[in-house]
Amino acid sequence: MAEQLDPRVAVYIDFDNIVISQYDHVFGRSSFMKDKARNAAGKTAEKLQLATVDIGAVLDFASSFGAVAISRAYADWAAPANTRYQKQLIDRAVDLVQLFNTAGTKNGADIRLAIDVVEDLFRLEDITHVVIVAGDSDYIPLAQRARRMGRVVVGIGVTGSTSAAFKSACDEFSYYEDLVETPPPVIEPEPASEPLPAVESAVEAPAGRAPAVAKTRRRASAPATVELAPPDPQKDAADLLVRALKVAQRADTVDGWVNASSAKNQMKRLDAGFGEKKLGFKSFTDFVKSVKAVEMREEGQQRSVRLR
């Protein structure tokens, strides 16, 4: 493999595998099949929401190894359980590879993914890291072949659905749950049907009798339209710095300190449009000092930053 200065990463996601594994991790083994969750009908739509996979966290972790050059997700994108992820994936520039089910629930993702990985590694010699997001033992030969070709293989799987042999076949392995900070999502119950408030009104009565008071039902007024707050580039950039430090701190750091230039490089990997001068700062150091959620340490010309 040609000499490479900057690491370049290729990410391959067996999307059906990770969605089903996460659902089973939350609701119990084989729950996805028992609930027929692929159709996302009725109650299963709410359960799928509870077991949502945060693809952004996976891609952020992958970017900690270097610039992400390839990112592909393999699934039947016509399945309702997967369809709701399409915008999230497209927004992160992930290529969606369509696989139709040929027999039952099998879509051949493992074979197609493996072929693409080997082809990419022969064609693109600058790829240094291969990230396989799945836990199936079918990927063991792929991991072994990629390692023999001189690439670093990183596996990501879900607890309870990952083969121990697949973990051993990787140079590095992380569980999906360790990559995300996800408080349990709260699904708001459907509002109970309440009786409409009664409104008294006078009803004309026959002559010689007092008018009767009738109670009618009046619908509540529609809620007022909520105006969205305008975008705040400074806050978005501060949040991006926090994300970058969280990713960088998963690597080998001393007491959480990250070299300032490494932190900036990680920010650029997460959002190529970042630039401190666009925000009115003369230097990256000035920008970091403006973010209250982080602290900076200066030792001569060396600057390091970490979360408070």
Residues 194-242 have pLDDT tens digits of 554 554 544 555 555 555 554 545 544 444 554 556 778 888 888 888 8
Calculate the alpha carbon distances from 192 to 25, 170, 225, 287 in Å.
Answer: 31, 51, 22, 49
Per the CB < 8 A criterion, the answer to whether 249 and 307 are in contact is: yes
Highest CATH level, class, for 233-307? alpha beta
Q: Tell me, what DSSP letter sits at residue 148?
A: H
Residues 147-177 have pLDDT tens digits of 999 999 999 999 888 888 999 899 989 899 8
Model pTM score? 0.70
Confidence bin at 244 (pLDDT 50/70/90): confident
Superfamily of domain 8-178, CATH level 4: 5'-nuclease (3.40.50.1010)
Identify the weakest region by mean pLDDT among 43-47, 66-70, 123-127, 182-186. 182-186
**Could you state, in order of their start, the residue ranges of all structural domains in the chain?**
8-178, 233-307
